[in-house]
Structure 1
Amino acid sequence: MTKTHALLIRTNGTFELLDWPKQGHLKTLYTAIGCSNVAAVDITPQLTMWLDDEGINVGAPLNRAATFLYAAHRPPHQHYYGAAVITGGTTPTGITRGLTEKQTTVLVELYLTQKDVRVPAQRTK
């Protein structure tokens, strides 16, 4: 079976690629986000964004990158607060899928190119 991932986007703009487990999805989300209740936001049928369900109420910082990522796929209707984890969509039985290698690559490229982050290149003399 192919290894799948999730993309953690922190409020300071950094991100981390997480291994998506075969089981224990909620534990992975709670640990990555740092919360005890999560909310799922469907970005597309193939992408889900997970956030602290109480993030705005507990004063979590605005997550501009997560808000931008949502807006890159559909018209935004709100801002998102706190750390966000992006996963694949769900199976017909409601199991959350991890991101495929291709989905991960596209998201990272979108995230890096839209944030105007300089990716280091080989140095020349």
Structure 2
Amino acid sequence: MYQTTPNAILLTSDGCIVPINLPETAQDRQTVMRSVIRCSTYDCVALTSNLDMWLDDEGLYRHPVNPLATTLARRFGFDWQDYHGPVLITG
């Protein structure tokens, strides 16, 4: 089942911010996450104890820099690298 209120935000490399409804079941959620991030494997950057940023594990090699994701990560102290490709923000 999908929630009616978006429970995630997609930040695209070209600056779009897209609300996303993730399914409640873990397997369906992973399928949707891989689809919107456009990857087969993903990684998580825990920006805070309540805010996670999910991204393509191989994004550096496959996607352009994502300025929004990089700025957001730097805001929370992750300033040693740029982040690439679409990222999904969950709480």
Provide TM-score, normalisation by structure 1: 0.64
Q: What is the SS of the residue equivalent to 2:60?
A: coil
Q: Runs (4+) of structure 1 moved beyond 2 Å?
A: 1-4
Shift of 1:4: 5.0
Q: Cα RMSD (Å) of the superposition?
A: 1.7
Q: Which residue of 2 aligns with 1:78?
A: 81
Indicate yes or no: 2:26 matched with 1:26: no
What is the identity percentage for the equivalent residue pairs of Structure 1 and Structure 2? 33
Shift of 1:73: 2.0
Unpaired runs of 5+ residues, structure 2, are none
Aligned residues: 87
Larger radius of gyration: 1
Q: Which residue of 2 aligns with 1:52?
A: 56
Shift of 1:71: 1.3
Separation in structure 1 between the aligned mates of residue 49 and residue 4 of structure 2, nearest angstrom: 20
Unpaired runs of 5+ residues, structure 1, are 89-125
Q: What is the SS of the residue equivalent to 1:44?
A: coil
Provide TM-score, normalisation by structure 2: 0.86
Out of 51, 55, 65, the position equivalent to 2:68 is: 65
Separation in structure 2 between the aligned mates of residue 8 and residue 21 of structure 1, nearest angstrom: 15
Separation in structure 2 between the aligned mates of residue 48 and residue 20 of structure 1, nearest angstrom: 14
Task: For CA contacts below 8 A with separation 6 or more, give which structure has more relative contact order.
Answer: 2
Shift of 1:25: 1.6
